[in-house]
Amino acid sequence: MSINDIKAYCKDPKNQSTVNVGLFILLIISFHFLYLGWQALGYWPVGRLIHKLMVWSVNLVYSQSCWVLDHVFRVDITTVSRVRLISALNSDDGWARVIIAPECASLKQWMHWLFLMILFPGPWKHKLWYIPAGLVIIEWTNVIRICGILLMQIAWPNINIHLMGQDINTFHLAHDYIFKFFFYFVIFLMWMLWVEKFFNPTHLKSKQNE
């Protein structure tokens, strides 16, 4: 397949959905590896700024999660602010725990969203409000994730399954599988809404005017 064939395929309105999903996947994977490389370089040349933002974002999601667990779910939580630990008694009178580490902050997903939306086509007059709205949704999705991980440990403390060659307990099932998938599914839904409501109408209109 030649370059001209690829261009013709991408310009064909019938292939637009496939092209959009392909571009989404390409941007998501590209950012993942770019981020890993940047992380290995200590976030050069803005490492200090990124570290401060990470500390701020960790403290933000920690305080928000504590508030939601206390005021919305009415969970009797015990906290240790110094290490950002949230714990509560589980159904077996043991302890469910979540420690919010820097990797648990929303910063990487915020960067993911910015990278995706800045590079993905669409009208900037809508991007100027849609991008910040997405950042807020991502933050509260992370709060739901943190709360969900703790609540699963409270309700089902003794889950132990063998999956893909690994023994997985309740925490790992919630942290590594259920709520990680949920996090990126929300980002995918926001992107899909962007494509259907803001990108496709503009794109199709421009095609008709060619």
Residue 9 lies in a domain: no
Residue whose entry in the numeric block shows the structure tokens 């206390």: 70
Q: For 8-46, what is each residue's pLDDT tens digit?
A: 777 777 888 888 999 999 999 999 999 999 999 999 999
**Predicted pLDDT at 1:** 59
Residue 5 lies in a domain: no
| In the predicted structure, residue 154 carries a pLDDT above the cut 50 | yes
78, 144 Cβ separation under 8 angstroms: no
Q: How many separate domains does the chain show? A: 1
The overall average pLDDT reported for the chain is: 91
210 — pLDDT class (breaks 50, 70, 90): very low
Residue 81 lies in a domain: yes
pTM value? 0.90
Residue 10 lies in a domain: no
% of the chain beyond a pLDDT of 70: 95
Q: For 178-206, what is each residue's pLDDT tens digit?
A: 999 999 999 999 999 999 998 876 554 55
| Residue 141 lies in domain | 15-209
107 — pLDDT class (breaks 50, 70, 90): very high
Q: For 62-84, what is each residue's pLDDT tens digit?
A: 999 999 999 999 999 999 999 99
Q: Kindly state the average pLDDT of the residues 102-115.
A: 93
- Region of 169 please: left (phi>0), alpha (psi -120 to 50) or beta: beta
Residue 124 lies in a domain: yes
172, 165 Cβ separation under 8 angstroms: no
Q: How far apart are CA 81 and CA 90, in angstroms?
A: 21
Residue 8 lies in a domain: no
| Helix H or strand E segment including 80 | strand 78-80
Residue 2 lies in a domain: no
Burial of 44 (0-12, 13-18, 19+ CB in 10 A): exposed
Residue 1 lies in a domain: no
